[in-house]
Amino acid sequence: MMGFCADPATVEGVKWWMCYLTTNTHISFYKSFLVVLALLALTAPLAMLLGFAGALARRSGIFPVSLIGHTYTSMVRGVPDIVFFLFIPIAMDQAFELTRHKILCPEVIGPVYQGNDFVVCTAAKLPLSTADAWVHTTYGFFLAAFGFAIVFGAFAANTIDGALSAVPKAQLETAAAYGMTKRQTFWQIHLPQMWGFALPGLSNLWMILVKATPLLFLLGVEDVVYWAGALGKTKTAAYFDYPHGDWRLGYFAMLLVFYLFVTWVSENFLSRMQAKFNTGQATIGGKKLPQGIAR
C-alpha cells in the first residue's frame, strides 16, 4: 500500500482508486485468480492421469482390474459432481487423520466417531493446529484439487477409452505384422492415433472444468467469485475506509472478462492441437487443410 493511503478519508480521484484497489482484501482477490489458475494447472494433469489409469483399467484383460476401472468411471459419472466435490475432500481428510491417529497415538483408547463428531488426537490432526494459516489453506486446496481430479478423471477415462477403441484395428495389426511388441504398438501407433479421437471430448471436459472452478468456494477455498461478491457489496462509511455503493455488477464483469479470456486462450490452443492431429488424415477435418501442407 502506498504511503498516501495512510488516511483514506483524505484521498480522492485517481489516488483514491489506487489506494482502494490495493487494500489487503483486493490483494486477496487478485491472488484468488492465481488460485483458480493453479487449480486448473494441477487438476488437468491429475485428471488426465486418472483418466488414462481408468481407461487402461477398463480395457484390462484382468477381471478385477477392469472391474475397478468400470466401477470408478460408472460410479463417479453417475453421481452428481457436487456430491463428490463435497464428499472427497472430507473423506480424504478423515482417512488421513484416522490413519495418523492409529499410528501416532495408539495409546488413545475410545472411538474416533463420537456421535456426530470425528475426534482424533492432537498429534494426528492435519495440518497440525500449530501450523501456519497458509499450510491450512494449501492443504484444503490440494484436497479440493484431488476431488476435482477424481470427478474429471472419470469422464476423461470414458473419453480416452472410447478414443482408443476408435483406432482402426488394421493399424494395430500392421504394427504386429512388422514385429512390434504390444507395448511398442501401444506407444508408437495406438496412443498417437487415439489423440485425434479423444481431443474433442477432452477439450469439452477442460472447458467444463474451467467453468466448475467457482465450486471451490463450496470447499472453503476463497475463489474469485467469493471475493467478487464480498468486495462488490455496498460499503458504509461507518465500517469501511473506502465506502461505496453496490458495485457487484462491476466486479462480476471482471470475472466475465477473466473467464472469457481463459476460454479464448483455451480455444486457440485446442484448435491448434486439433489441426495438428488432423494434418493429412483422411477425415473431413484433415481434408479442410491445404493438401500440400506437409510437402
Partner 1 sequence: MASKSARTRAGRKSNGFDDAIPVVHLKDIHKSYGDLEVIKGVELKARAGEVVTLIGSSGSGKSTLLRCANLLEVPQSGEIIFDGNPVHWKVKGSERVPADMNEVRLVRTNLSMVFQQFNLWSHLTILENVTEAPITVLGRSKMEAEQTGRKYLEKVGIVEKCDAYPAQLSGGQQQRAAIARALAMEPHAMLFDEPTSALDPELEAEVVQVIKKLAAEGRTMILVTHDMKLAQDVANHVVFLHQGVIEEQGNPSEVFGNTKSKRLIQFLSATVTA
Contact residues toward partner 1 (CB under 8 A) are: 170-171, 173-181, 184, 188-189, 192-193, 196, 277, 279-282, 286, 291-292, 294-295
CB of 159 to partner 1, least distance (A): 18
Closer residue to partner 1 (CB): 138 or 174: 174
Determine if the peptide bond prior to 80 is cis (ω within 30°): no
Closer residue to partner 1 (CB): 106 or 292: 292
CB of 274 to partner 1, least distance (A): 14
Strands (E), the chain: 113-114, 117-118
Joined grid coordinates for residue 57:
483399467
**DSSP summary character for residue 244:** B
CB of 277 to partner 1, least distance (A): 8
Closer residue to partner 1 (CB): 17 or 187: 187
CB of 183 to partner 1, least distance (A): 10
CB of 200 to partner 1, least distance (A): 17
Closer residue to partner 1 (CB): 9 or 170: 170
Q: Where are the alpha helices (DSSP H) in 5-113?
A: 13-20, 24-59, 63-78, 81-104
Q: Which residues contact 127 (CB under 8 A, 6 or more apart)?
A: 135, 136, 139
CB of 206 to partner 1, least distance (A): 22
Q: Contacts by 22-28 with C-beta closer than 8 Å and gap 24+?
A: 23/241, 23/242, 25/227, 25/230, 25/231, 26/231, 28/222, 28/227
Neighbours of 154 (CB within 10 A): 24
Joined grid coordinates for residue 30:
487478485
Closer residue to partner 1 (CB): 21 or 176: 176
CB of 188 to partner 1, least distance (A): 6
Closer residue to partner 1 (CB): 27 or 176: 176
From the number of C-beta atoms within 10 Å of its C-beta (0-12, 13-18, 19+), residue 34 rates as exposed
Closer residue to partner 1 (CB): 272 or 295: 295
Neighbours of 83 (CB within 10 A): 10
Q: How far apart are the first and last CA of the chain?
A: 58
